[in-house]
């Protein structure tokens, strides 16, 4: 599940192993995210400190989940930066090309880090197959031409209208207050339009998936 927004505090929570023991416990992974202008760059394996963020989620207690307890009882907490890089103008250099994060590091939202790498690999394989026995350089250039602009668009969209923009929008419309009916804040048509827009940008639309 995904709760909150990056502007006020966001949690992504999902189970990894079900029925971990005879008592039915689960092994759960969670990510707490907050957008801060003064955040310093750190190492990917930097040990996290509860006092830096637990206060944001201390009142997040629901009948079906105690978020504060989930955080406080974690076996391990790591801190890592949510970073990307500006799109580059070229991936291919002779018989060498880039793919995945090497080509387009982006914010890890919407599973796009892995998803776009898989799409890169598919397109690259297709272009190499078309050039079987021919010029591999031409295949690499065709792959770059097909993938460079779409992935650059995703990198930039993840900064302005990320896949969880719906959460941000609803949080803004509600003034950060609890609400009983989302339809009183935003129509289903508007929600669908936001979702469909990102699917089109990321190549996850039904049309793209069935090509």
Mean pLDDT by 10 residues, the chain (211 residues): 84 90 88 79 77 91 91 89 90 96 88 89 95 89 96 91 83 86 92 87 71 60
* pLDDT at site 189: 93
Q: Which two tokens mark 44?
A: 């990917």
For residue 62, the cross-strand partners are 65
Res 208: pLDDT: 65
| Token pair for 196 | 């469909």
pLDDT in the model for residue 42: 62
Question: Which residues, at least 6 apart from 104, have a Cβ–Cβ distance to it below 8 Å?
Answer: 87, 116, 151, 152, 154, 155
Return the ∠ at Cα 203 (arms to 198 and 208), rounded to 5°: 125
Q: Is 198 a catalytic residue?
A: no
Q: Which of 14, 80, 107, 143 is catalytic?
A: 14
With 0-12 / 13-18 / 19 or more C-beta atoms within 10 angstroms meaning exposed / middle / buried, residue 5 is buried
């Amino acid at each position: 599940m995904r709760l909150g927004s990056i502007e006020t505090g966001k949690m992504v929570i999902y189970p990894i192993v079900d029925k971990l023991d005879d008592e039915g416990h689960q092994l759960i992974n969670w990510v707490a995210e907050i957008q801060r202008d003064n955040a310093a760059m750190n190492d990917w394996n930097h040990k996290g400190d509860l006092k830096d963020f637990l206060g944001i989620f201390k009142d997040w207690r629901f009948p079906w989940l105690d978020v504060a307890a989930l955080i406080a009882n974690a076996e391990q907490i790591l801190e890592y930066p949510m970073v990307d890089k500006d799109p580059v103008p070229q991936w291919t250099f002779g018989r060498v090309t880039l793919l995945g994060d090497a080509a387009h590091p982006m914010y890890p939202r919407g599973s796009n880090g892995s998803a776009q790498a898989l799409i890169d690999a598919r397109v690259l394989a297709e272009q190499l197959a078309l050039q079987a026995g021919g010029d591999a350089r031409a295949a690499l250039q065709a792959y770059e031409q097909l993938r460079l602009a779409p992935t650059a668009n995703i990198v930039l969209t993840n900064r302005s209208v990320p896949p969880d923009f719906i959460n941000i929008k609803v949080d803004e419309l509600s003034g950060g207050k609890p609400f009983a009916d989302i339809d009183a804040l935003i129509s289903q048509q508007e929600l669908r339009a936001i979702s469909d827009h990102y699917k089109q940008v990321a190549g996850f639309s039904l049309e793209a998936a069935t090509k």
